[in-house]
Amino acid sequence: MEFLGFGKLAPGVARALVPISLHLYLSFFGLGFGLEIGICQRCLSPGTPPLFPVFSKRRDPSSIFSTIPHPKQRRTDMSQNFNLFTTTSRGSGSSTGASSFNNNSNSFNTTNVSNHFTAPEDRSGILAWRSPLEPRVRHQNLEAGRVDKVGDWLLQTQQFRSWWDGSTQDESPNATIFCYGNPGAGKTYIW
Amino acid sequence: MFLTSFHRSSLVVDTLCDRARGQDIAVTCFYFDFAAGKEQTPGSMLGALLKQVVGGLDKIPEEIVQEFVEQKKVIGGRSLRLDQIVKMLVAVTSLKPTFICVDALDECAVRDRGKILISLGEIIQKSPTTRVFLTGRPHIHSEVETRLPGGIATVPVSPWKGDIIHYIRKRLSEDPSPDEMDSSLEMEIVNKIPETVSEV
């Protein structure tokens, strides 16, 4: 009998392993869920140093080119990517942002937004209300991550540099950059 | 597996995050997926962006808190309308330069895509320091160009031989059975695989 890829086992041994493996799976799932909540809460807290330990989990593929999943297989709810908040103390860019904000007559209640804040304990409930999309367990594969320097050509293009440089100025040639290509061209990896 | 979301996985988002470090810049992202079409509505997509921008602020703006309190009184907690979300996004993206990165826009339902592009267009127009990075298949090119104001740069993406070779070498260096590899086999792999990669 084939048992979870461990080769042929006697039927009696396999039957004995089933409850053990089920127990281990449930234990890991419970621990992992708790960890995920903890990580998300930590990331949501302002001023918390980033918690992105290098998590190197070696797989033992039968071949180094055996399975290269598409990045979509690592579906991760965008709300999980809280490392992208890049929250910082007020820096050089704040004056630009503030002035454009104040000049925006269509914004709601433009004068008071930055003056009225809420307590940190209310944050999680309010943030969850913003969008029903919440972090969840997905099929992911660490080994399928992007290889450093692959796709760097994009960063060197005039279009990208101009788009990035313009972000610090009110008037930029292009507010949007659109990278297009057929399926499998690598769009998601450069994204 | 729960830490994977922090693994380096996409070039531009990672680059923007690296460059934004130490600056008062917000980077947000979202990707579309055919399989998640029903839950990836314009409201939930833009709400997820709003959540990311607001999550990066020191405190949640009072207007959002007020709206939350008001909506909670109705039918046990009503979600916001799309125009309310856009209005809030305009406000918070005006506080600091903001990057919005959206992957696979072509995988968004056609009807929703129009609403999302119009909403992004409104944000770009009213919040001049907002920058949008989009990826998608070529057939949505004209739609993106029509809907979004503020100028659009386009970059075609196709497999680049140098990238493929770099990737192969990286994978070879991680070969769990290095004893089975020799220089001639390695050379053969490096030479043949890029040649057999078809045009996509």
Query: Domain map of chain B by residue range?
Result: 4-147, 161-196
Question: Which structure tokens are listed for B199?
Answer: 């045009």
Mean pLDDT of A88-113: 33
Chain A residues whose CB is inside 8 A of the B2 CB are 32, 35-36, 39, 137
pLDDT digits over A37-56, tens only? 444 454 444 444 444 343 33
Coil, strand or helix at A151: coil
Dihedral (Cα; B86, B11, B146, B84), 10-degree rounding = 0
Better-predicted residue by pLDDT, A152 or B7: A152
CB pairs under 8 A between A and B: 392
What pLDDT is recorded for position B5? Answer: 36
pLDDT above 80: residue B83: yes
Mean pLDDT of B157-186: 82
pLDDT above 70: residue A95: no
What pLDDT is recorded for position B76? Answer: 61
Say how far apart CA A136 and CA A79 lie, in whole Å. Answer: 10
pLDDT above 70: residue B89: yes
Which residues 143-162 on chain B approach chain A with CB closer than 8 angstroms?
Answer: 144-145, 148-160, 162
Better-predicted residue by pLDDT, A169 or B54: B54
Chain B residues whose CB is inside 8 A of the A111 CB are none
Q: Are B148 and B124 in contact (CB under 8 A)?
A: yes
Closest CA to B135 of B114, B119, B154: B154
How close does chain A come to B150, measured CA to CA in Å?
A: 5
How close does chain A come to B112, measured CA to CA in Å?
A: 16
Interface check for A14 against chain B (CB to CB < 8 A): the answer is no
Percent of chain A with pLDDT over 70: 19
Say how far apart CA B18 and CA B22 lie, in whole Å. Answer: 9
CB contact under 8 A, B1 and A118: no
For strand A176-180 and strand B130-136, is the pairing parallel, antiparallel, or unpaired? parallel
From residue A143, give the alpha-carbon distance in Å to each of A16, A52, A71, B17: 32, 16, 11, 21
Interface check for A159 against chain B (CB to CB < 8 A): the answer is yes
Say how far apart CA B93 and CA A98 lie, in whole Å. Answer: 10
Hey, which CATH number is domain B4-147, 3.20.20.80, 3.30.1130.10, 3.50.50.60, 3.40.50.300? 3.40.50.300
Mean pLDDT of A78-100: 35
Closest CA to A143 of A43, A38, A68: A68
Better-predicted residue by pLDDT, A119 or B98: B98
How close does chain A come to B154, measured CA to CA in Å?
A: 5
Rg of chain B (C-alpha set): 21
Q: Full-prediction pTM beyond 0.90? A: no
Better-predicted residue by pLDDT, B117 or B18: B117
pLDDT above 50: residue B43: yes
Mean pLDDT of B38-58: 88
pLDDT above 50: residue A22: yes
How close does chain B come to A5, measured CA to CA in Å?
A: 19
What pLDDT is recorded for position B191? Answer: 83
Question: Which structure tokens are listed for A185?
Answer: 């061209």
Interface check for A3 against chain B (CB to CB < 8 A): the answer is no
Average of per-residue pLDDT values in chain A:
54
Coil, strand or helix at B184: helix
How close does chain A come to B138, measured CA to CA in Å?
A: 5
Closest CA to B43 of B102, B92, B105, B115: B115
Say how far apart CA B200 and CA B198 lie, in whole Å. Answer: 6
pLDDT above 60: residue B92: yes
User: Which residues, 6+ apart, have CB-to-CB distance to A110 below 8 Å?
Assistant: A101, A102, A104, B91
Q: Best residue in A43, A81, A156 to probe B by mutation, most B CBs within 10 Å?
A: A81
pLDDT digits over A60-87, tens only? 434 444 444 455 554 444 444 333 333 3
